[in-house]
Structure formats: C-alpha cells, structure tokens
C-alpha cells in the first residue's frame, strides 16, 4: 500500500491548538493536522498525548566562540571573576591561535548540542575585527551554517567591536556580503554591534554607521545594548529613533537591554511605547537577565521579547548546554520578584508565567527572527518539531522533559537528547 504521508505523529498535544492532534508530514512540510488522520505513513510516532511543539528558537548565541573556554580539566575562563578588559585580550589570543577549521568544528559541535536539545532555529552573533582576525570567524560560521543545514536554520549577525571609522564599516560590509553569499530561505544576515556609548564612545556616529551598512545591504539589525541605567535607556531611545527615521520598523532587535531593570517607570513606559510602535524586538538571555528586568510587563504590553541561551562555553559564559528549556527553567527561578510585591512574587512559577517563558523560546523567538509565517504547528509550515515525554510546556520546563524526537524538515535528526549518528556534522 502506498503511504499517504512520509510520517505521522499521532496523539500529539499541541499547546497552540490546546488539542490532541495527529500531524501528517509530506516532503518536510506539515500537510495535515487533524483529530485523527485515517491514512498510513512510512514512519509513525506515537506521542502518547504528550506535548509536541515547534523546534525552539535560540535567539542569541555566539557560535564563533563555542568552546573557547574548554579543553582543560576546569573551564579555563573561570580562574578569575568576569573582567571584560581581560576577556577581550583572552578572546583575541584565542582567535589569533585558532584556525578557521577549528572554529568551524566547534561551532558545529555547539549546533549539534543545541539541536539535540530541541533547537532548530538559531540567531548567532559573529565577531569581526579589522585590526586582528578580520573575517576569519565569519568564514568559519558560514561554513558551519552550510554544513549543518539539515539540522538548523541559522541567522548570522556579524559585529565589529568598533564600527564608526571607515575600516570598521568596510569590514562589517564585507562580512554581510560573505554571509549573504549562499543565503537561502530563513537564513538572514543582519548587522550587529554593541554599545554605541560604552564601547564605541559615540552614540550618533555608531548608529549612523550601523544603519548605513544595514540599509546599503537591505538587512536588519540586532545589536547588544548593555549599558546600564539612564545611559542605556537613552541609547535605546536613540536606536528606536534611528529605526523610525530609516523606515526600519520590524527589522531591529536590541539584545540584553540591562538598563530596563534600572530606569524609572515613566522612562520604561515611553520605551515600551517606542518598541511596540517600531515593532522592534528585545532578546534576553537567561545567564545575564537581571532578576529585576520587567519581563512580565514587557510581555503583557506586547513587546516581542525573545530568549537566547548565549551558551557558547566561551570566556564570557563557560556554562550552559545550549538548551532553551534549561534557560526557561533558570529564568522562572531567577525572575522570582519580591515578596513585598505580591503580584509579581513567583509569578514565573505560575502556569501563565511558565507559558510565557515557553512562548519566549518558541513563537516570540520566531517573531524576533522574522520567521513567524513559516513557524509553528500549522499546515504548510516546515515540519520542525519536538516530541516531549511530558504533557505540557509547564511540565516540560519543570521536569526538563526528554526530547524524545527532534524533527527537522520532517526527518528525525535527534532522539532522547542525542543526535542520530547519520546526521552528525562534526568530524
Ligand atoms: Zn551576545
């Protein structure tokens, strides 16, 4: 008998439909969603009424730095506490020694770790540096992207430490060209950077440079805004003003935004209005999310707030397993709030709060990456799915559910937390 579908996942609980469904997959696409599909398939998976969700969206990684702090008995970045000036030197030494092939292999190792944990979409920042290692990391990461295409879709965000001068701008421009060379659907390239004030010491010239390069190549922006307090708040105001002036609505992401946990309510309210008016996104990463960040308020007021693991085991963060579900659990614990304010106290432990954390690692991420129309359990979207051994997002986060199957374009690429051997991309 001819199979009607390549695969069918039966008895799948979909949280977006709040229903138990059968999912029919043909040619890598979801082609049927029904209470019961009366047909046969070459491959059938019984989800046993457990959760089946779309692949996680990891909205912030630095896969060019993957495993930079490994290779010794203890993490080699952990001999002293975080010191940014020291980290810059260590990174530059590391990149000076590493070959393109080394960086490619470690990036692939990180992608494999993320995919085994259920991630099928990644946005990764990539360092470029006109004084030292040039485009080497961008070359490595574009090679890794091509190599790992059957595992995950990658968006790349080249970022120069200093962009305002001509050499920095040109290198950033070259990095965008390189990233676009074998661009395919869903694998965008964006302009990155960090801290126009704190790092670049010139907010206006830095933003002009970013938007110049982005407009020239018609790509979006995702920039680190890590400056705290009113300086960070002012930087975000300027970023959103540049967004408006350049007609960049819906194409700008501000990563981290630590200042949101420091500024006054009126400034926060003004910024939230500007973010929603410009359809601009925020990405927070569990390792660095400030416990007082107004995550709940941002979500409830309609800001697209996505999540990244930032898990690269590099000199900045030696921890983590590139596991978005782990990130969601840590966030729920970290964002406890203060018992004095009963509304917020342990709100991220409630089913509603855990539900929002789930959305941050799934649909909010898809919105930030601009891929909402190709994402989720809908007929016609790519069959990028995860079958869990728990019945809901809430239980999946609490119990750190087993990812029984990770399915990319209709193909099972990982089982029970391990990559299927034939889909391994590392050597
Ligand atoms: Zn970052």
For ligand 1, the distance from its centroid to the CA atom of residue 274, given in whole angstroms, is 23
For ligand 1, the distance from its centroid to the CA atom of residue 358, given in whole angstroms, is 21
d(C-alpha 25, C-alpha 251), whole Å = 31
For ligand 1, the distance from its centroid to the CA atom of residue 82, given in whole angstroms, is 15
Amino acid 183: pLDDT: 63
Scan for tokens 């059938």, then name that residue.
44
For ligand 1, the distance from its centroid to the CA atom of residue 291, given in whole angstroms, is 18
For ligand 1, the distance from its centroid to the CA atom of residue 62, given in whole angstroms, is 6
Q: Which CATH superfamily is domain 56-373 in?
A: Metal-dependent hydrolases (3.20.20.140)
Q: Of 62, 130, 256, 307, which one is the catalytic site residue?
A: 256
Instruction: Spell out where 83-200 has E strands.
Output: 119-128, 153-160, 191-194
Burial bucket for residue 117 (CB in 10 Å: 0-12, 13-18, 19+)? buried
Pick the CATH number of 5-54+376-423 from 3.40.50.20, 3.40.50.2300, 2.30.40.10, 3.20.20.120: 2.30.40.10
Q: What angle do CA 338, 84, 199 make, to 5 degrees?
A: 95
Scan for tokens 């964002």, then name that residue.
335
Task: List CB contacts of 150: < 8 A, sequence separation 6 or more.
Answer: 408, 409, 411, 413, 423
Our measurement of the distance from residue 315's CA atom to the centroid of its chain's CA atoms, rounded to an integer in Å, reads: 19
| Cβ–Cβ < 8 Å for 389, 402 | yes
CA distances from 48 to 11, 22, 42, 387 (A): 5, 11, 19, 10
Closest CA to 286 of 262, 235, 321, 337: 321
For ligand 1, the distance from its centroid to the CA atom of residue 407, given in whole angstroms, is 27
| pLDDT tens across the length of the chain (427 residues) | 456 899 999 999 999 999 999 999 999 999 999 999 999 998 999 999 999 999 999 999 999 999 988 878 888 877 777 777 788 888 888 998 999 999 999 999 999 999 999 999 999 999 999 888 999 999 999 999 999 999 999 999 999 988 888 888 999 999 999 998 866 545 689 999 999 999 999 999 999 999 999 999 999 999 999 999 999 999 999 999 999 999 999 999 999 999 999 999 999 999 999 999 999 999 999 999 999 999 999 999 999 999 999 998 888 888 889 999 999 999 999 998 878 777 788 999 999 999 999 999 999 999 999 999 999 999 999 999 999 999 999 999 999 999 999 999 999 999 999 999 999 999 8
For ligand 1, the distance from its centroid to the CA atom of residue 54, given in whole angstroms, is 24
For ligand 1, the distance from its centroid to the CA atom of residue 47, given in whole angstroms, is 36
Is residue 256 annotated as part of the catalytic site, yes or no?
Answer: yes
Task: List CB contacts of 74: < 8 A, sequence separation 6 or more.
Answer: none
| Cβ–Cβ < 8 Å for 119, 148 | no
Amino acid 186: pLDDT: 53
Q: What angle do CA 323, 329, 330 make, to 5 degrees?
A: 90
CA distances from 373 to 57, 155, 227, 424 (A): 14, 16, 33, 29
SS3 content of the chain, % helix, strand, coil (to 5): 40, 25, 35
List, in sequence order, every residue forming a beta bridge with 158; answer none if it has no partner.
126
d(C-alpha 386, C-alpha 107), whole Å = 22
CA distances from 395 to 85, 293, 309, 325, 346 (A): 41, 24, 20, 11, 16
Amino acid 187: pLDDT: 61
Amino acid 3: pLDDT: 61
For ligand 1, the distance from its centroid to the CA atom of residue 61, given in whole angstroms, is 6
For ligand 1, the distance from its centroid to the CA atom of residue 241, given in whole angstroms, is 23
Domain residue spans of the chain: 5-54+376-423, 56-373
For ligand 1, the distance from its centroid to the CA atom of residue 127, given in whole angstroms, is 10
For ligand 1, the distance from its centroid to the CA atom of residue 384, given in whole angstroms, is 25
């Amino acid at each position: 008998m001819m199979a009607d579908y390549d695969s069918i996942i039966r008895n799948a609980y979909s949280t977006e439909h709040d229903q138990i469904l059968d999912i029919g997959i043909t040619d890598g696409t979801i082609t049927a969603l029904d209470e019961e599909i009366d047909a046969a398939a070459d491959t059938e998976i019984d989800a046993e009424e457990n959760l089946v969700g779309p692949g996680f969206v990891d909205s912030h990684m630095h896969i060019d730095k993957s495993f930079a702090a490994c290779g010794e008995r203890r993490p080699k970045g952990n001999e002293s506490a975080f010191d940014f000036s020291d980290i810059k030197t260590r990174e530059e030494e590391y990149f000076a020694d590493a070959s393109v092939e080394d960086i490619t292999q470690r990036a692939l190792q990180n992608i494999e770790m993320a995919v085994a944990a259920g991630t099928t979409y990644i946005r990764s920042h990539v360092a470029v540096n006109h004084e030292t290692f040039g485009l080497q990391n961008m070359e490595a990461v574009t090679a890794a992207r091509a190599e790992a295409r059957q595992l995950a879709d990658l968006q790349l965000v080249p970022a120069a430490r200093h962009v305002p001068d001509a050499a920095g701008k040109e290198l950033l421009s070259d990095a965008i060209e390189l990233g676009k060379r074998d661009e395919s659907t869903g694998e965008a390239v964006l302009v990155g950077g960090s801290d126009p004030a704190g790092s670049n010491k010139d907010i206006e010239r830095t933003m002009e440079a970013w938007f110049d390069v982005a407009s020239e190549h018609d790509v979006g922006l995702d920039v680190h805004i890590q400056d705290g307090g009113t300086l960070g708040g002012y930087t975000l105001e300027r970023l959103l003003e540049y967004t408006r002036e350049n007609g960049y609505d819906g194409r700008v992401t501000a990563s981290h935004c630590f200042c949101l946990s420091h500024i006054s309510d009126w400034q926060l309210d003004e910024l939230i209005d500007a973010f929603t008016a410009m359809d601009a996104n925020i990405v927070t990463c569990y390792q660095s999310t400030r416990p007082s960040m107004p995550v709940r308020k941002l979500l409830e007021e309609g800001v697209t707030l996505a999540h990244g693991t930032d898990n690269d085991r590099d000199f900045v963060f030696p921890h983590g397993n590139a596991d978005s579900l782990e990130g969601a659990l840590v966030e729920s614990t970290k964002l406890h709030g203060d018992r004095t304010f009963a509304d917020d106290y342990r709100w991220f432990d409630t089913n509603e709060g855990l539900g929002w954390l789930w959305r941050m690692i799934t649909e909010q991420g898809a919105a930030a990456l601009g891929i909402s129309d190709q994402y989720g359990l809908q007929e016609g979207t790519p069959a990028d799915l995860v079958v869990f051994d728990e019945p809901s997002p809430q239980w999946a986060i609490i119990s750190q559910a087993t990812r029984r199957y990770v399915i990319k374009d209709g193909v099972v690429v990982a089982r029970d937390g391990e990559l299927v051997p034939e889909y391994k991309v590392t050597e």
